[in-house]
Every structure is written in structure tokens, then in C-alpha cells.
Amino acid sequence: MKTIVVIFTDVKVDKADTVKFKKYSFNTANALRVGDIIQIGQYNSNVQVVKVLTKAHKFYNKQTGEISNEYVSTMQEEIKTLKLRDEDDTVVYGTLKRK
């Protein structure tokens, strides 16, 4: 597992221009590289990988984008796991939601 840093974009952004975007983080076991574009069903926009860290981290600060393994601020949230899958047009995917 490793942490990736992404930006939301529908077009590939040059490395120098990624500094203008707010950064988000996911943990993943998938072999991803800087520049990869990922479509995530829960979001209206694609994401572009801008950094791949060598290990997984636990928290990110939603205001600053800082990544940490210690909870030190109320602005931190736990980093979610991203799992890639090949989708099949003949399959309808769903998630069971129970209260």
C-alpha cells in the first residue's frame, strides 16, 4: 500500500501547473505513476496522479493537503483507499447500503 496525491481535472495538466490545484490523497495497492488519469465513479471529474509516495499514510489535512500518520488537527481526515477495477459493460455494479 502507498499514498498517492491527486488533483481533480478532466485534462492532463503539466507538472509545473499542478501547483495551482488543491491536492487530495488516496491509499492504493495499484501500480500507479505520476501523470496517470483515473476515473472515479463517485466524483464528477477525473483525477490525475501528481505524486506517488513509497508508503501509505493515515491522515491528510483537507485545508493544507499535508499528509501525516498522526492526528494533530481537526482539519484532518482519514485517507480513503482507492481500488482500481476493470469494468465490464455487461455487469451492473452496486454497493449494499444498510442502516
Q: Within the chain, which residues score under 50 in pLDDT?
A: none
pLDDT of residue 88: 76
* Residue 97 exposed, middle or buried by CB count within 10 Å (0-12, 13-18, 19+): exposed
The residue type of 94 is: G
Q: How far is CA 80 from the centre of its chain?
A: 8
Closest C-alpha among 3, 7, 8 to residue 26:
3
pLDDT of residue 44: 86
Using CA atoms, how far residue 72 sits from 19, 56, 65, 78, 86, in Å, is 24, 18, 13, 12, 37
